[in-house]
């Protein structure tokens, strides 16, 4: 078996992208069974988090908040509506669709908070370390996005 590191010395274990990918997968896998108990998928959970925090929100604003396209949000909202957690209504501007929590959706927040705390405990990180890690990741995302925008592309 060859152990060459290639011309550029690219190694999987040295890649930031892989470390982020592996960490994300681990966290999502930790959430999956806990959210499944309350009838949510992880992407649906993200939509619900935004609604619990922000209240009634237009689909396009929800998409921007979650850094997704409106077409990616729509099927999530469809399933949340079918489950009875949200409702949709047209705003006075008929092009705008507003998403609002139902009573069942509001009550779900307390049950989901238990799942969230269980995942936080699994990280083994204290409050300060978690806050610092979140901020570092936000800063990283902002820097990468700003660099891609400044160059006109995201290819680096």
More confident residue, 150 or 105: 105
Angle (CA) 107 83 75, round 5°? 120
Angle (CA) 45 74 97, round 5°? 105
| Global confidence as pTM | 0.85
Residue 135 has pLDDT above 50, yes or no: yes
How do residues 37-74 score in pLDDT, each as one tens digit?
A: 999 999 999 999 999 999 999 999 999 999 999 899 99
**Neighbouring-strand partners of residue 86:** 101
- Please give the domain boundaries of the chain with CATH numbers for all domains: 16-120 (1.10.10.10)
């Amino acid at each position: 078996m060859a152990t060459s590191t290639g011309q550029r010395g690219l190694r999987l274990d040295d890649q930031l992208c892989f470390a982020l990918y592996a960490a994300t997968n681990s966290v999502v896998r930790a959430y999956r069974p806990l959210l499944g108990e309350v009838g949510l998928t992880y992407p649906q959970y993200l939509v619900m988090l935004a609604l619990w925090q922000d209240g009634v929100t237009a689909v396009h604003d929800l998409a921007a908040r979650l850094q997704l396209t409106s077409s990616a949000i729509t099927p999530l909202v469809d399933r949340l509506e079918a489950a009875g957690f949200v409702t949709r209504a047209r705003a006075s501007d008929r092009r705008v669709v507003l998403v609002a929590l139902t009573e069942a959706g509001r009550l779900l927040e307390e049950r989901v908070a238990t799942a969230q705390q269980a995942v936080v405990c699994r990280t083994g990180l204290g409050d300060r370390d978690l806050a610092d890690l979140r901020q570092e990741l936000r800063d990283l995302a902002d820097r990468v996005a700003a660099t891609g925008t400044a160059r006109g592309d995201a290819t680096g």
